[in-house]
Chains A and B, each alone.
Chain A
């Protein structure tokens, strides 16, 4: 089940909210847990018990680790917990990829291939693995104490708003909220508004851009250069409105219940450098990578050579985390290299260029990177790059007035905060509290967006044929 589906919007969400708010406060976590289990079971019934099992094992391992006084034993148990979480991820997400590559090498060496039954990917595994890692490591580091109740821990891992696509919530940032939290009317309303804005970003903007991006990547090398650039830009905007929309929905849902999930996006396309881009794009992943990989590797404290190596390791891992494919690995390396270039002097050049040129150059670099991210394989990616720089005529895309309007709107929303007034407008919309007048304006806006989004999801399934008379 995804948030942008009718079953979630028209059945699951209202029933959950009703059940949640009529439950006495001290039992609300159980209601939330029950619905979260149902949410996960609906999408991946086969993996529910794998997930619960891993939660139970991890919970008791961390408890054991916390009680142990010997530092070496603590370290060992923490290591075991990390290995357990990562091995699940490795098996479910990367085993197919590793076997495919191994077989490719064996084939090259004229050796028989390894027999293998493809493993299905449990939904949300990348996110809940990282969350279970933060729990074990934070308790090991002593930055937080372990959860008192198993149900609270399972809730932290499986809470449906952030289970499937994040944000990656560190345990110490929500530990207290799980035990005790408050949500007033204002929170519920602004949370719902945030949810609907996210929904509209996904359904009304991203889905429209997706049509053109898909068409462009399907035509690939046959595209005219202009169409290839337009297709690439469409994907750049699509992925932002899709992913940030989903994060908005998760944050909004959390807020309705009194949770304060961390922000995941902060106008990333207004970044003036790739370094800044990664401070604004998928912030919770960036924070995770920094806190749990980059710094433990030594960060920038061991000389520039080691820093560059650490950066490359972090971005290769980050790329690989996004998907088990060489495209993602190269995409990660691409971003890592630009981070190194910036440390080698590119940052100064960007700084001297002035605000707008540096934003545009960064945007261009990010755009070209998304080709690797979107392409199904490396040959498709190279075909697309060829179309981008061939300066040739070829197939055009099906560009409708709706596409142009949405495209312009997406560009506007992506860059609006470059202007002071734009930033002020965004702050007003995402405020924690509204004046009476603004409350009404927001309500009407949100109601229209909600109805349009649901309508859009409905018409996707309802395309009648005209020959009804016959």
Chain B
């Protein structure tokens, strides 16, 4: 008996030591592979220890945060606690997600909006909200009139909110006060009265939820997913009806449902140990886009919230739209199909507005109290510019929309170290004043364009943490250096752009490949001869191989040209 107790003591003592030291061992060795945490969070950099920051205590605060984020088994510990909080108390530690009944997840502002508690958080009285909404609708009216002057349509789109479609799955809450303001209804009514074209999707989805062959919202996603396809179909039809633009038609095939073990949407961000029981079904359908000689693809500027992202997930945007800009919360601008990213306040907003065929203000119901995130006031102000500025901007847009000209301007801006808008403005002035054009001085041969595009994409990607994380993951999976993965991915993308005709170029004045190679060889040789380090290296190699210096140099240049040709970096045919 005593022996058994003693053995138990030793075993437990050992286990205790393991419990205490395991995280440190894992941190050093990473001997167990753990599932990475999902969601957006800013990692804390390792602080530098100095006398000053130690004395002030800032080092201690920083290092504590840093170590908290960098110790062994952090991920499973967080998942374990999250699972405990979710399973026992139906709570999460993810910003903005409110778990409902039966495994449903909701966006917390949408829940507050449903129960009528969101507006009181931001306005002293309901009348304050109504006053602000009235002013916004008045601004919409002004914006609509201003845009009409240039043949541009303005419309609003009210995406549906999950709590209004599936209220039975909401968490327990005090009932909605009958007098609570309904933001969507209020805006809907006011926009109707003001003659602002708009679509309110909630009512429609409420009606179809029991008859549709798919869930309007999947259980574990606070945003709409597959159901968005029908919303966009309605949106584009409605846009078409405004001015018979001829937008290509969307044909939606039979809905297919499927399940997957992969967590999707917001469930992933909860960082639980186990998937939510009875995870929702996913849907897909064959979507075809009908276009003919009578159809025309519009340029659309969307301003709004995250509900817009399902557009690119479920629809072939390039087949429907000529060009797209998304001003996310009127703060970050995603320009073009490749989503070049800028701050909205830093771009030429007047040019973007004038370049669109349609301007769509787009938000889910619970966001309408925020009105347009400042977009409407700004847009009206932008459009009040003088006639000469408007003319100049329109000319800039004309240049931008001419693919070759646009590429020439981008290369020119890059060569001169100027902002693209500055070059466009200069070129537009050249056109208006009849001066020589910059495009005529800027050759856009294939190798120049490809090199420029490749460098541009690389620059953008390297600035994006999300993209670099994906590249890092691919590099680990393929066991290739990060730079090689990056290079091959960019090459693939550039080839796609060429195939789709998005990247255009002129025929190079070289018809003879041999002459082209000769010219290229001269170019490399000149560059190398001006670089002493390379010269020293070749000298050393020549000595090692017992070859004359010039022979070694020639060999290395040939090798480089062969490599560039093989990897597609150098195009020998135009």
The reply to whether chain A is a binding partner of chain B is yes
Would you call B71 an interface residue if the criterion is a C-beta within 8 Å of the partner chain's C-beta atoms?
yes
Q: Nearest Cβ distance between residue B556 and chain A, in whole angstroms?
A: 45
B-facing residues in A137-187 (Cβ within 8 Å): 185-186
14 A-B Cβ contacts within 8 A?
A5-B64, A14-B24, A185-B9, A402-B89, A439-B8, A451-B81, A455-B84, A462-B93, A464-B37, A465-B39, A465-B95, A466-B97, A468-B40, A469-B309
> Is there an interface contact between B77 and A189, defined as CB atoms closer than 8 Å?
no
Would you call A431 an interface residue if the criterion is a C-beta within 8 Å of the partner chain's C-beta atoms?
no
> Is there an interface contact between A7 and B94, defined as CB atoms closer than 8 Å?
no
> Is there an interface contact between A6 and B90, defined as CB atoms closer than 8 Å?
no
Q: Which residue of A is nearest B19, CB measured?
A: A447
> Residue-by-residue, is B24-49 near A (CB-CB < 8 Å gives 1, otherwise 0)?
10000000000001111100000000
Q: Which residue of A is nearest B268, CB measured?
A: A468
Q: Nearest Cβ distance between residue B289 and chain A, in whole angstroms?
A: 24
> Residue-by-residue, is B203-233 near A (CB-CB < 8 Å gives 1, otherwise 0)?
0000000000000000000100000000000
Contact status of A465 and B64, CB under 8 A, knowing A185-B9, A452-B80, A458-B74: no
Q: Which one of B10-18, B418-426, B489-497, B534-542 contacts A? A: B10-18
Q: Nearest Cβ distance between residue B313 and chain A, in whole angstroms?
A: 9
Residues in A whose Cβ lies below 8 Å from that of B12: 189, 439-440, 443
Q: Which residue of B is nearest A457, CB measured?
A: B68
Would you call B149 an interface residue if the criterion is a C-beta within 8 Å of the partner chain's C-beta atoms?
no
User: In the bound complex, how far is the Cα of B90 from the Cα of A78, in angstroms?
Assistant: 60
> Is there an interface contact between A467 and B40, defined as CB atoms closer than 8 Å?
yes
Residues in B whose Cβ lies below 8 Å from that of A464: 37-41, 94-95, 269, 271
Contact status of A402 and B88, CB under 8 A, knowing A461-B68, A465-B39: yes
> Is there an interface contact between B80 and A465, defined as CB atoms closer than 8 Å?
no
Would you call B67 an interface residue if the criterion is a C-beta within 8 Å of the partner chain's C-beta atoms?
yes
* Closest 6 pairs between A and B when the two form their complex, measured CB to CB: A464-B39, A455-B81, A402-B89, A465-B40, A436-B8, A459-B93
Residues in A whose Cβ lies below 8 Å from that of B60: 1, 42-43
Would you call A463 an interface residue if the criterion is a C-beta within 8 Å of the partner chain's C-beta atoms?
yes
Q: Nearest Cβ distance between residue B369 and chain A, in whole angstroms?
A: 19
Would you call A69 an interface residue if the criterion is a C-beta within 8 Å of the partner chain's C-beta atoms?
no
> Is there an interface contact between B21 and A14, defined as CB atoms closer than 8 Å?
yes
User: In the bound complex, how far is the Cα of B68 from the Cα of A468, in angstroms?
Assistant: 21
Other-chain contact of A401, B16, B38, B57, B90 (Cβ < 8 Å): B90
Interface size class of A (residues with CB under 8 A): 35 or more
Contact status of A461 and B65, CB under 8 A, knowing A466-B222, A468-B40: yes
Contact status of A450 and B19, CB under 8 A, knowing A7-B63, A455-B84, A464-B269: yes
Interface size class of B (residues with CB under 8 A): 35 or more
Contact status of A405 and B88, CB under 8 A, knowing A185-B13, A435-B5: yes
Residues in A whose Cβ lies below 8 Å from that of B77: 451, 454-455, 458
> Is there an interface contact between B89 and A405, defined as CB atoms closer than 8 Å?
yes
> Is there an interface contact between B95 and A455, defined as CB atoms closer than 8 Å?
no
Residues in A whose Cβ lies below 8 Å from that of B41: 462-465
> Is there an interface contact between B266 and A466, defined as CB atoms closer than 8 Å?
yes
B-facing residues in A1-24 (Cβ within 8 Å): 1, 5-7, 10-11, 13-14, 17-18
Other-chain contact of B9, A42, A186, A454, A468 (Cβ < 8 Å): A186
Contact status of A7 and B67, CB under 8 A, knowing A452-B84, A458-B77, A459-B93: yes
Residues in A whose Cβ lies below 8 Å from that of B269: 464-466, 468
Q: Which residue of A is nearest B71, CB measured?
A: A10
Residues in B whose Cβ lies below 8 Å from that of A435: 5
Residues in B whose Cβ lies below 8 Å from that of A470: 306, 309, 328
Residues in A whose Cβ lies below 8 Å from that of B8: 436, 439-440
Residues in B whose Cβ lies below 8 Å from that of A440: 8, 12
Other-chain contact of A45, B54, B68, B81, B93 (Cβ < 8 Å): B54
User: In the bound complex, how far is the Cα of B81 from the Cα of A384, in angstroms?
Assistant: 34
Contact status of A192 and B16, CB under 8 A, knowing A435-B5, A466-B95: yes
Residues in B whose Cβ lies below 8 Å from that of A436: 4-5, 8
Q: Which residue of B is nearest A450, CB measured?
A: B19
User: In the bound complex, how far is the Cα of B4 from the Cα of A436, in angstroms?
Assistant: 7
Residues in A whose Cβ lies below 8 Å from that of B139: none
Residues in B whose Cβ lies below 8 Å from that of A451: 77, 80-81
Q: Nearest Cβ distance between residue A396 and chain B, in whole angstroms?
A: 8
> Is there an interface contact between B13 and A189, defined as CB atoms closer than 8 Å?
yes
Residues in A whose Cβ lies below 8 Å from that of B39: 464-466, 468
> Is there an interface contact between A452 and B81, defined as CB atoms closer than 8 Å?
yes
> Residue-by-residue, is A337-373 near B (CB-CB < 8 Å gives 1, otherwise 0)?
0000000000000000000000000000000000000
> Is there an interface contact between A439 and B40, defined as CB atoms closer than 8 Å?
no
Would you call A25 an interface residue if the criterion is a C-beta within 8 Å of the partner chain's C-beta atoms?
no
Would you call B69 an interface residue if the criterion is a C-beta within 8 Å of the partner chain's C-beta atoms?
yes
> Is there an interface contact between B40 and A6, defined as CB atoms closer than 8 Å?
no
Would you call B280 an interface residue if the criterion is a C-beta within 8 Å of the partner chain's C-beta atoms?
no
Other-chain contact of A7, B5, B15, B64 (Cβ < 8 Å): B64
B-facing residues in A189-235 (Cβ within 8 Å): 189, 192
Would you call B78 an interface residue if the criterion is a C-beta within 8 Å of the partner chain's C-beta atoms?
yes
Q: Nearest Cβ distance between residue A190 and chain B, in whole angstroms?
A: 11
User: In the bound complex, how far is the Cα of B21 from the Cα of A451, in angstroms?
Assistant: 13
Q: Which residue of B is nearest A456, CB measured?
A: B81
Q: Nearest Cβ distance between residue A280 and chain B, in whole angstroms?
A: 31
Would you call A46 an interface residue if the criterion is a C-beta within 8 Å of the partner chain's C-beta atoms?
yes
> Is there an interface contact between A463 and B80, defined as CB atoms closer than 8 Å?
no
User: In the bound complex, how far is the Cα of B466 from the Cα of A177, in angstroms?
Assistant: 57
> Is there an interface contact between B93 and A189, defined as CB atoms closer than 8 Å?
no
Other-chain contact of B93, A18, A463, A467 (Cβ < 8 Å): A463
Residues in A whose Cβ lies below 8 Å from that of B80: 451-452, 455
Would you call B91 an interface residue if the criterion is a C-beta within 8 Å of the partner chain's C-beta atoms?
yes
Q: Nearest Cβ distance between residue B63 and chain A, in whole angstroms?
A: 7
> Residue-by-residue, is A303-334 near B (CB-CB < 8 Å gives 1, otherwise 0)?
00000000000000000000000000000000
User: In the bound complex, how far is the Cα of B57 from the Cα of A11, in angstroms?
Assistant: 18
Q: Nearest Cβ distance between residue A6 and chain B, in whole angstroms?
A: 4
Would you call B517 an interface residue if the criterion is a C-beta within 8 Å of the partner chain's C-beta atoms?
no
User: In the bound complex, how far is the Cα of B8 from the Cα of A186, in angstroms?
Assistant: 11
Contact status of A189 and B81, CB under 8 A, knowing A11-B67, A462-B37, A466-B95: no
User: In the bound complex, how far is the Cα of B80 from the Cα of A145, in angstroms?
Assistant: 52
